[in-house]
Structure 1
C-alpha cells in the first residue's frame, strides 16, 4: 500500500505554532479512514494512491481557507509494487 509523507506549512497566519494546523490535518485524515503517524516535522499516511492525493489536496486547501496567505506543501510517496509495505512494517524492519 502506498505511503505518503506530508508536510504543510501555512505562512502569514500571525502565529509561529502549527499545532492547530496539525489537528485540522489529522481530522481530515481520520474522516477519510486512513492510517497515519504524526512525526515532529511531518505526517505519514498510508492508503490508496488516489485517496492519498485527495487527502493531501484537502489538507492544503483547508489551510488556504483558514486565512494563510501562503501554504507550502511537500509530499513524498513510497509506492512499492514488488512487495507489500505499511507504516508498521517499515518501522518494525528498522527496529529489528
Structure 2
C-alpha cells in the first residue's frame, strides 16, 4: 500500500477555478475504488502503487481532453515496505 499526492494545474482553460478539475479527478479515484483525501492544494490517494500510477495518468490526460492548452502535474509518492502505510495511519500518527 502506498500514498500518492497529486496536484494538477491546467493552463489555458479560460478559467481561474480548479473546482471542476478536482471533481473530475475525484470521480476517477472513486471509479477505481480508492480511498482519498482532498486538501486545499492537492489530493492524496491510497492504494497499490501500480493502480496509483494508472489513476494519476488518467487524471492528467483528462485535463488535456478537457481542452487545457498545457497541464502541469506534480506527484509525490510515499511507499513504505517495512510497515503498513495508509491515510488513516499517517493522520493518527500526527494526532498522537
Unaligned ranges ≥5, structure 2: none
2:17 alignment partner in structure 1 = 17
Aligned residues: CA RMSD: 0.4
1:72 alignment partner in structure 2 = 72
1:49 alignment partner in structure 2 = 49
Aligned residues: 96
Cα distance in 2 between the residues matched to 1:37 and 1:15 = 24
TM-score, normalized by length of structure 2?
0.99
Query: Residue deviations 1:36-77, cap 9 Å, x none?
Result: 000000000000111000000000000000000000000000
Secondary structure in 1 aligned to 2:45? Answer: strand
TM-score, normalized by length of structure 1?
0.99
